[in-house]
A and B are shown apart, each in its own frame.
Chain A
Amino acid sequence: QQPVQSPQAVILREGEDAVINCSSSKALYSVHWYRQKHGEAPVFLMILLKGGEQKGHEKISASFNEKKQQSSLYLTASQLSYSGTYFCGTRGSGGSNYKLTFGKGTLLTVNP
């Protein structure tokens, strides 16, 4: 089942914060976050494994609530370079299949 991302789109001014959510109807082993700019392939941001971990890289961080089967991506003090479509990819618990199922994406636009 495809994870559900919200919001579908968000517009920010430079310096503002944003939260992107990703929720699944099935138990998850891991959540992967990517950013895709127009005309390019997705770029890996971070991966969160079950166990309820949080991760951060500069001003972009994420959390994974295993019990709620959801993850959130936090972008603080947004920069123009943060613009793009953000996808979460989920891997279900159980089995040895490493394939990811991607959400429909969240389009983030950061304006000056």
Chain B
Amino acid sequence: GAVVSQHPSWVICKSGTSVKIECRSLDFQATTMFWYRQFPKQSLMLMATSNEGSKATYEQGVEKDKFLINHASLTLSTLTVTSAHPEDSSFYICSARDPGLAKAQYFGPGTRLLVL
């Protein structure tokens, strides 16, 4: 099946610093990737849709200037949490859309962010 990697798997940082998370589709080209955020025992909350070669589309209530998304190639999307604060601590998960007929989405393993 399709494989999506995410790096780093976990990160601890001080308040005010920026953190970059990478999402890669390893065996297929993904023109569209998605970034989700998940709090404990809750559902997946879509933050933004990342489109290769164009600006990301953010969901209502998600700060564009705080969560910078760049989809520079067909296999890589990055999420940068700028000036992170403790309330940004969460589980961030990316997914990549398989461009095949089914258009299934495959998730990366996720990144746990802890802001102190």
- Chain B contact residue count (CB 8 A cutoff): 21
22 pairs from A and B in contact (CB 8 Å cutoff):
A30-B103, A32-B105, A34-B107, A41-B6, A41-B107, A42-B44, A42-B93, A42-B107, A43-B107, A44-B2, A44-B105, A97-B49, A98-B32, A98-B49, A98-B97, A98-B103, A98-B105, A99-B49, A100-B105, A101-B46, A102-B43, A104-B42
Whole-angstrom distance between the alpha carbons of A100 and B32 in the complex? 12
Q: Cβ of B43 and Cβ of A103 under 8 Å apart?
A: yes
Q: Give every chain A residue within 8 A of B107 (Cβ-Cβ).
A: 34, 41-44
Binary interface profile of A, 19-57, with partner B (CB < 8 Å = 1, else 0)?
Answer: 000000000001010100000111110010100000000
Interface bracket on A: 20 to 34
Q: Cβ of A40 and Cβ of B49 under 8 Å apart?
A: no
Task: Identify A44's interface contact among B1, B6, B43, B93, CB under 8 A.
Answer: B1
Interface hits, B102-116 → A, CB 8 Å: 102-110
Q: Determine how close the nearest CB of chain B comes to the CB of A75; give it in whole angstroms.
A: 20
- How many pairs of residues, A versus B, come closer than 8 Å at their CB atoms? 50
Interface hits, A46-84 → B, CB 8 Å: 47, 49
Closest to B106 in A: A44
Whole-angstrom distance between the alpha carbons of A34 and B34 in the complex? 16
Whole-angstrom distance between the alpha carbons of A32 and B43 in the complex? 14
Q: Give every chain B residue within 8 A of A30 (Cβ-Cβ).
A: 103
Q: Give every chain B residue within 8 A of A103 (Cβ-Cβ).
A: 43
Q: Give every chain A residue within 8 A of B102 (Cβ-Cβ).
A: 47, 49
Q: Give every chain A residue within 8 A of B42 (Cβ-Cβ).
A: 104
Interface hits, B61-110 → A, CB 8 Å: 93, 97, 102-110
Q: Determine how close the nearest CB of chain A comes to the CB of B48; give it in whole angstroms.
A: 9
Q: Determine how close the nearest CB of chain B comes to the CB of A22; give it in whole angstroms.
A: 12
Q: Give every chain B residue within 8 A of A105 (Cβ-Cβ).
A: 43
Q: Give every chain B residue within 8 A of A99 (Cβ-Cβ).
A: 34, 46, 49
Whole-angstrom distance between the alpha carbons of A40 and B44 in the complex? 12
Q: Give every chain A residue within 8 A of B46 (Cβ-Cβ).
A: 99-101
Q: Cβ of B103 and Cβ of A87 under 8 Å apart?
A: no
